């Protein structure tokens, strides 16, 4: 589903904006600091209730304002609203009603974000890759969120017990439950990575021909040993350390070329393309499995990519049939694409230009 109308009030340097994006490729251009990224950030907020560039949510509230408000109309019927004030109070609305959980917004508005920082997916630790897997599993399996949340809570409880030097028998009771949910979680993550591999191959083949990238799932503990056994045999060490060393919280996605981690072989441009391939694959899978379209947010498209690669990336995005928002400083660099709608941002003022 695409965003048909988007309104922002007191969000970063945007006092008020009301835009009508097209269902396909949208270009947002403007000088540095004009507010382009803020528009993408607002869409992100509406889905996830947080920013992608600051951990402090109040930072996005316009200086000297009490709160920011966002609104989006999706398709013909769905209306999403989100407001947050300086005290951290959040009000979310789906079609005028308060949702039970904020995660419902993310379900209605699935997003894929590509920014100059997206390299982190490949260069940083496993957390970002685990989140990548979990995004896919979350959107493809209705049970996933509940299982994921249970697992997280049980792990937290176990770590507390470890630190308080609780009795081994008491920990063993919790471990039984933890083992159960760890297996359920892992089953779903593995199934999702298997289907991902099916679509990823073709996309990587287009972006990085002749680079044999292999993607595999690592579950977070030795796959030949049942998790029950791992928890039991490592209990003593876990107690000494005060946390659980192995488990689903250590899962990872491994990306290798000729058995060498991609970050040690590929150039920055190639890494960026690989990140793009991963994100596009995620969206393609979602639409294949669930006939749901995710929206792509591509910030600062030109960074790290030459003109041929930019064209390739945009064509791939166009082929997904999804709504895409691309930001760029210089629209000339992207003149080769037929944009459905073009927006210009200047000092926080967003205007629609004829494309």
Ligand X SMILES: Nc1ncnc2c1ncn2[C@@H]1O[C@H](COP(=O)(O)OP(=O)(O)O)[C@@H](O)[C@H]1O
63 makes contact, choosing from Mg ion, ligand X, none, with CB < 5 to 8 Å by partner type, with ligand X
Nearer to Mg ion, 11 or 192 (CB): 11
Is 26 flagged in the annotation as binding?
no
Nearer to ligand X, 139 or 310 (CB): 310
Q: Counting contacts by CB under 6 A, is residue 118 touching ligand X?
A: no
Strands 324-328 and 295-298, sheet pairing: parallel
Q: Counting contacts by CB under 6 A, is residue 182 touching ligand X?
A: no
Is 35 flagged in the annotation as binding?
yes
Q: In what helix (H) or strand (E) does residue 13 lie, and over which residues does it extend?
A: none
Distances, alpha carbon 139 to alpha carbons 74, 186, 320, in Å? 18, 15, 17
Edge-first strand listing for the sheet containing 90-94: 14-19, 3-11, 67-74, 78-85, 90-94
Is 107 flagged in the annotation as binding?
no
Angle between helices 126-140 and 144-163 (to 10 degrees): 140
Give the interface size with ligand X as a residue count (CB under 6 A). Answer: 15
Tally of residues, the chain? 355
* Tokens coding 194: 């298997």
62 makes contact, choosing from Mg ion, ligand X, none, with CB < 5 to 8 Å by partner type, with ligand X
Q: Counting contacts by CB under 6 A, is residue 115 touching ligand X?
A: no
Is 30 flagged in the annotation as binding?
yes
Per-residue x/- marks for ligand X, 19-58, CB under 6 A? Answer: -----------x-xxxxxxx--------------------
Is 353 flagged in the annotation as binding?
no
Helix, strand, coil in percent for the chain, rounding step 5: 45, 25, 30
- Quick check: helix, strand or coil at residue 174? helix
Nearer to ligand X, 50 or 152 (CB): 50
35 makes contact, choosing from ligand X, Mg ion, none, with CB < 5 to 8 Å by partner type, with ligand X
What's 224-256 look like in SS3? CCCHHHHHHHCHHHHHHHCCCCCCHHHCEEEEE
Q: In what helix (H) or strand (E) does residue 271 lie, and over which residues does it extend?
A: helix 268-290
Q: In what helix (H) or strand (E) does residue 40 lie, and over which residues does it extend?
A: helix 36-48
Nearer to ligand X, 4 or 13 (CB): 13
Question: Who contacts 155 (Cβ-Cβ below 8 Å, separation ≥6)?
Answer: 178, 244, 247, 249
Nearer to ligand X, 34 or 112 (CB): 34
Distance, in Å, from the CA atom of 188 to the CA atom of 258, rounded to the nearest integer, reads 27
Nearer to Mg ion, 130 or 272 (CB): 272
- Min dist CB 60 to ligand X, Å, is 6
Of positions 12, 158, 272, 341, contacts ligand X by CB under 6 A: 12
- Min dist CB 25 to ligand X, Å, is 18
Of positions 2, 4, 7, 13, contacts ligand X by CB under 6 A: 13
Question: Who contacts 93 (Cβ-Cβ below 8 Å, separation ≥6)?
Answer: 79, 80, 81, 82, 99
Distance, in Å, from the CA atom of 258 to the CA atom of 213, rounded to the nearest integer, reads 8
Is 49 flagged in the annotation as binding?
no
Nearer to ligand X, 112 or 115 (CB): 115
Q: Which of residues 216-245 bind ligand X (CB under 6 A)?
A: none
110 makes contact, choosing from ligand X, Mg ion, none, with CB < 5 to 8 Å by partner type, with none
The contact set with Mg ion (CB under 5 A) reads 37
Of positions 63, 89, 142, 259, contacts ligand X by CB under 6 A: 63
Nearer to ligand X, 68 or 135 (CB): 68
* Tokens coding 56: 């402090």
Is 31 flagged in the annotation as binding?
yes
- Min dist CB 203 to ligand X, Å, is 27
Residue ranges in contact with ligand X by CB under 6 A: 12-13, 30, 32-38, 59-63
- Annotated binding residues for ATP, written as ranges, equal 30-37
Binding residues: 30-37
């Amino acid at each position: 589903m695409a965003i048909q109308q988007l309104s922002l009030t007191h969000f970063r340097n945007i006092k008020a904006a009301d835009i009508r994006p097209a269902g396909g490729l949208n270009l947002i251009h403007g000088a540095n600091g004009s507010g382009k990224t803020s528009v993408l950030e607002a869409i992100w907020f509406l889905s996830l209730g947080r920013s992608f560039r600051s951990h402090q949510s109040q930072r996005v509230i316009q200086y000297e304002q009490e709160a920011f408000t966002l609104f989006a109309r999706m398709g013909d019927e769905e209306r999403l609203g989100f407001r947050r004030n300086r005290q951290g109070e959040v009000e979310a609305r789906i079609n005028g009603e308060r949702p039970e959980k904020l995660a419902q917004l993310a379900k209605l508005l699935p997003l894929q974000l590509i920014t100059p920082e997206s390299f982190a997916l490949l260069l940083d630790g496993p957390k970002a890759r685990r989140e990548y897997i979990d995004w896919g599993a979350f959107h493809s399996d209705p049970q996933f969120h509940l299982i994921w949340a249970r697992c997280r809570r049980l792990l937290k409880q176990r770590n507390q017990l470890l630190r308080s030097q609780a009795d081994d028998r008491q920990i063993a009771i919790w471990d039984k439950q933890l083992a159960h949910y760890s297996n359920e979680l892992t089953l779903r993550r593995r199934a999702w990575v298997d289907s991902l591999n099916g679509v990823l191959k073709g996309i990587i083949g287009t972006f990085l021909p002749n680079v044999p990238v292999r993607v595999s799932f690592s579950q977070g503990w030795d796959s030949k040993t049942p998790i029950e056994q791992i928890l039991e045999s490592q209990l003593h060490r876990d107690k000494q350390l005060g946390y659980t060393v192995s488990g689903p919280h250590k899962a990872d996605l491994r990306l290798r070329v000729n058995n060498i981690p991609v970050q040690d072989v590929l150039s920055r441009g190639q890494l960026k393309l690989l990140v793009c391939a991963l994100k596009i694959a995620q969206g393609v899978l979602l639409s294949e499995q669930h006939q749901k379209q995710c929206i792509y947010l591509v910030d600062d498209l030109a960074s790290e990519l030459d003109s041929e690669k930019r064209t390739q990336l945009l064509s791939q995005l166009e082929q997904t049939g999804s709504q895409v928002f691309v930001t760029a400083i210089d629209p000339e660099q992207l003149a080769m694409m037929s944009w459905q709608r073009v927006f210009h941002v200047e000092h926080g003022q967003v205007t629609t230009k004829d494309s």
